[in-house]
Structure formats: structure tokens, C-alpha cells
Amino acid sequence: MPFIYHRTVHFQDTDAAGVVYFANVLSICHEAYEASLSAIGIDLRHFFRNSEVAIPIVHASADFLAPMFCGDLLEVRLLAKKLSDDKFDVNSEIFAAGGAERCLAKAVTRHLCIQPAKRTRQPLPPEVLRWLEEMG
């Protein structure tokens, strides 16, 4: 079942042409990812500052299907998929909010769990596994 995140496009999200700047699509998707973690009770302060576990993005891609403008209401639909004991993907689809089933953009981010000091792979922590179960 996807996690749903609602967001309004802000002026700062747009470029000189008045549409959402390409890199900001990934930023909006990352906001949805953070909101989904928080929604199941993960403490974001601890999650992103944990000295024992880091889960950096190791790959990102996006497809832009239609322009998004300042003031547009968006619905980000997020699904996560465990790929291995130390890796998962987050798939995001951005739709115009308000019932229109028009997909505006799609993005994928791949996340890898590491031990920050050694920069070595390690298994995903229990709270992320729980999040993946709910997001899958």
C-alpha cells in the first residue's frame, strides 16, 4: 500500500521557465520519504544523525511526464521495496492532487545501509525493516 504525501509547489521549487526545477522533483520525493518514516514512528533526528547506521542514496533517477507549476497541489505516492539485507528502493510517483489520475513525474532512489565510520555495508536496522514491511 503506498504512502501518500501532499505538497504544494512553492515559487522556490521552480526555475526561470516557471516549472519545477528537475532536481527539486527528487527533493520533493525525499520529503515524502522522510514523512513516511516519521508516520510509522521513526525519530528523524536520530535516524539522520545515527553514528552507527547511515542509509545514503547510492542511485537516483527521475522521469518528467508533465510540467508542475507554482501553486499546484501534488500527491506523492511512495512505495518501497527491499532488494537485499542492506539495500532498498523507494519508488515515487507524483500526481496532480484533486482526483486527476495524471502522473506528472516518477522517481526512484536506491538506499544502501552502511556503518558510517568504516563505510562498510551492514544489514538494515529493525525499524527500517518494519517500515519496508508497511511500505511494500
How high does pLDDT run on average in the chain? 96
For residue 136, the model assigns a pLDDT of 74
CA-CA-CA-CA torsion for 106, 1, 74, 32, nearest 10 degrees?
A: -80
Domains of the chain, each with CATH number or no CATH: 3-135 (3.10.129.10)
Does pLDDT of 68 surpass 90? yes
For residue 99, the model assigns a pLDDT of 65
The Cα–Cα gap between 90 and 104 comes to: 17
Which positions are catalytic?
15
How confident is the model over 110-130, as pLDDT tens digits?
999 999 999 999 999 999 999
Backbone angles phi, psi at 124, to 5 degrees: -65, 140
The model's pTM: 0.94
Q: Which residue has the cell 525519530?
A: 43
How confident is the model over 73-107, as pLDDT tens digits?
999 999 999 999 999 999 999 999 876 688 999 99
Which one-letter DSSP state was computed for residue 71?
A: T
Contact between residue 63 and residue 106 where contact means Cβ atoms under 8 Å apart: yes
Strand partners, 121: 114
Instruction: For 82-127, give the DSSP string.
Output: EEETTEEEEEEEEEESSS---EEEEEEEEEE-EETTTTEE-PPPHH
Backbone angles phi, psi at 10, to 5 degrees: -100, 160
Percentage of the chain surpassing pLDDT 90?
93
